[in-house]
Amino acid sequence: MSLLSFFGRRTTAPQARERLQILLAHERIATSGQPDLLAKLREEILEVVGRHVAIERDKVIVKMERGAGVSTLEVDVEIPNDVQITKRAVGA
């Protein structure tokens, strides 16, 4: 009988599994707010781009993808060929 087994020290595998489960739980909580985040990002992007160019609200698409080590934010803004600069952009 070793001294470590006497104190009931757990092996590293169960500890690692527990830490991973905690990490995954936090990650799930963070991604559950994703729709709100995307809606806020979309509105802010519309506001900023709208200061400089007249765009249609339904022509802006915002997507977020989460990968293993990287999250990607994709923004598609369709700008018409006959771009009209708004008054705010002229003064800037």
Phi-psi region of 8 (alpha: psi -120 to 50; beta: other; left: phi over 0): left
Residue 72, domain member (yes or no): yes
Instruction: Name, in order, each residue with C-beta under 8 angstroms of 74's C-beta and a sequence gap of 6 or more.
Output: 61, 62, 63, 64, 65
Number of domains composing the chain: 1
Structural contact between residues 52 and 89, judged by C-beta atoms closer than 8 angstroms: yes
4-44 pLDDT, tens digit per residue, is 555 555 567 677 777 777 777 766 666 555 667 778 888 88
Structural contact between residues 59 and 77, judged by C-beta atoms closer than 8 angstroms: yes
Give residue 62's pLDDT.
83
Give residue 92's pLDDT.
46
Structural contact between residues 60 and 38, judged by C-beta atoms closer than 8 angstroms: no
Structural domain for 26, as ranges? 18-79
Give residue 78's pLDDT.
86
Residue 46, domain member (yes or no): yes
Residue 9, domain member (yes or no): no
32-88 pLDDT, tens digit per residue, is 556 677 788 888 888 888 888 888 888 888 887 877 777 788 888 888 787 766 655
- Please state the pTM of the whole predicted model: 0.49
